[in-house]
Chains A and B, each alone.
Chain A
Amino acid sequence: MTTTSSDTEQVPVAAPLVGRPDVNRKRMARLGWGFTTPSLIVIGLVTIFPIVYSVVLSFSAATVTGNGVALNGFTGSNYSLVLSSSKWHYALGFTIIYTLVTVLVELVFGTLIALVLERLTAGRGLMMALLLIPWSMITVINAELWGYIYQGTYGVADAILNAVGLGHPNILGQSTPAIIGLMIADIWKTTPFVAILVLAGLVMLPGDIYEAAEVDGSSGWSTFWRITVPLLRPTLALAVMFRVLQAFGLFDLPYVLTNGGPGTATTSLAILGYNVIFKNLSFGPGAAVATTSALLVLLGCLLSLRTFRVQVGKED
């Protein structure tokens, strides 16, 4: 690690010392710009421009015209409209709860699976490969799959619930069961990812620390809470950050599985934004939904990152 970083530091510094420093440096700089400009242009066009345009849109009284969208000047009304809307309140609440529940459950199950996998002496590779099947599956396919499982007349879940005497609950037709069904589909798909991440953290923990803890008189539960969890904190924080970012942007799973319904029960912020823009063609308010969501995600990301850094810093 150290050698690599010092190498990369030394190259640009050392090169100008030979021959004519200024000429060399300028030539190197030109070359550098030459290499990076094409990709900067592409990034600018496909990433930065849409972001900036979306922010501009969110502050505009935009209307749809025959030639596209007219911005029609600056206004703050999109935000006041969105922030006071009960639909937005619900979508925000739903997205937050959905994120908290799925991330927490995935973290607990993922850690448990990782602990089991770590102790596995034979067949660990096979188990990991099997586990990764849900994770590697495209979300839309996953959603379709669970759609069949939850289907009211021939779905497996429906049959099982009927067999245990709960009748035909029409899972995706009622708010709470639909939300839970959505969460289960997400947890099924993403827990393996968390498990693999945590497993990677676990196998990096030094074995002699556990022997030291054993000699010190620690065992089982106490070792897990006092040694494993604190040492895994950076890994867990990383997993949480990844998952929070993903879960907060929840779109494709409910879009395919429930289309935000029944009613608006599974309408996440992303689905709400999509509906406002592309169904109502209300570009200004839709952009405001997207921008506030992005800001909230950024905030969540910074918080996770901060926790993560503090933990790593404390260890050094």
Chain B
Amino acid sequence: MSDVSMDKVNKVYENGFHAVKDMSLDIADGEFMVLVGPSGCGKTTALRMVAGLEDITSGILRIGGKEVNDETPKERDIAMVFQNYALYPHMTVAQNIGFALKLRKLPKNELDAKVKEAAGILGLTDWLDRKPGQLSGGQRQRVAMGRAIVRQPSVFLMDEPLSNLDAKLRVQMRAEVARIQRQIGVSTIYVTHDQVEAMTMGDRVTVMRDGTLQQVDTPQNLYDSPDNIFVAAFIGSPAQNLYDATVGEGARSIKLGSQDVELPESVVLKRPGLRAYAGKEVVVGMRPEHLRAESSTSTGPKIVGEVDLVESLGSELVVHFTIDAHRVIAEGAVDKDEAAALQSGEGVARVEAKTPVKPGDRVTFSVDIEDMQFFDPKTGLAVRG
């Protein structure tokens, strides 16, 4: 068990592609750190550099306080779970799990005991004599986990280990992987492009984009106070509603398209930086659950939108609506299809299941203005202090 520290680590490929830029990150002993970002953001490259499967162009990588830049994966004492599991097809489950120990020339009885223990933790005891080809996706995934945990390594590295499972199994294994990590207490770096996995599994989450680290924080903090527009748009599902807006004189209101939304004093007091934006443009972010379809009698800030589509999830309704404000799209944070829909100024609200809304309605949403997020349109950074 060890901490991992990356100090201004860079990766530049031979063809000049700069995959990871000045990445500095500290992962505490026993911590579950998730690296998340859209594909091509450098998260897998970062992981592979920690593993020793990819050379570090510049910067220092330390595991347990010791610089390991030039050490082989074996010397670094890491274990890795691969996206496609990378099980040895000609070996049984027991041989797969025990391979690393066998290479370390562990006595047979000790090896068997450790393999059995790992298999027990993962519920693989009945499958030890099977070959990977005879196992289901979920079982293969568990064997890959078993191969990692049996070694009791300093660090676990996981490269999108759940992406090949079907949705239901993924949810189940998500909880299981997190449980096993907690049980064993080994520092873990977990790469995923799925922000739900990131939110649910990580002690902390690192958001990356184009090789650059965007924000490192607990899942809740990432959600509540993203540092920039990219993180605000990437974290959360359905995605946050981000619109161009103008702050009114004296920062008493916000003009969102043709609508004026009242800005209570308390909001500005919490974000004094907002005063400087009086009369200027700003990007506002509203989480879908911070818009409530309420009776017109309620007071407080409101926006009116025209409903395009209502999706019922049983427990709640996801209401897609349009307002005449310009939607802000953080490149890479949403996929292309979604971006096309957003261009028309579409927003999303999550409202109570029984709310009587239907496409074509003009609905008044009351806004939880205290939770509204503000960003500078030029720098993309959050407006706070």
Contacts and interface: CB of A to CB of B under 8 A. Distances in A.
Most buried by B among A208, A216, A218, A231: A216
Contact of B100 (A209, A216, A314): A216
Contact of B72 (A206, A214, A226): A214
A222 interface: yes
Contacts of B39: none
Contact of A227 (B83, B88, B151): B88
A214 B53 contact: yes
Nearest to A212: B86
Contacts of B100: 216-217
A315 B89 contact: yes
A314 B51 contact: no
A215 B78 contact: yes
Give the size range of B's interface with the partner. Answer: 20 to 34
A214 B82 CA distance: 12
A212 B80 CA distance: 7
B378 interface: no
Contacts of B78: 215
Contact of A211 (B53, B74, B87, B151): B53
A22 interface: no
18 contacts: A209-B86, A209-B89, A211-B53, A212-B80, A212-B82, A213-B88, A213-B99, A214-B73, A215-B79, A216-B99, A216-B100, A216-B103, A217-B73, A217-B100, A226-B99, A230-B90, A231-B89, A315-B131
A316 interface: yes
B100 to A, nearest CB: 4
B253 interface: no
Nearest to A223: B103
A136 interface: no
Interface in B37-54: 51-53
Contact of B86 (A211, A219, A230, A316): A211
A213 B79 CA distance: 10
Interface string B99-133: 11001100000000000000000000000000101
Most buried by B among A215, A217, A233: A215
B134 interface: yes
B15 to A, nearest CB: 13
Nearest to A211: B53
Given A208-B86, A213-B99, 9 more contacts: A211-B53, A214-B52, A214-B73, A215-B51, A216-B74, A217-B103, A218-B103, A226-B99, A314-B90
Contacts of B103: 216-218, 222
Nearest to B89: A315
Nearest to B78: A215
Interface string A293-316: 000000000000000000000111
B204 interface: no
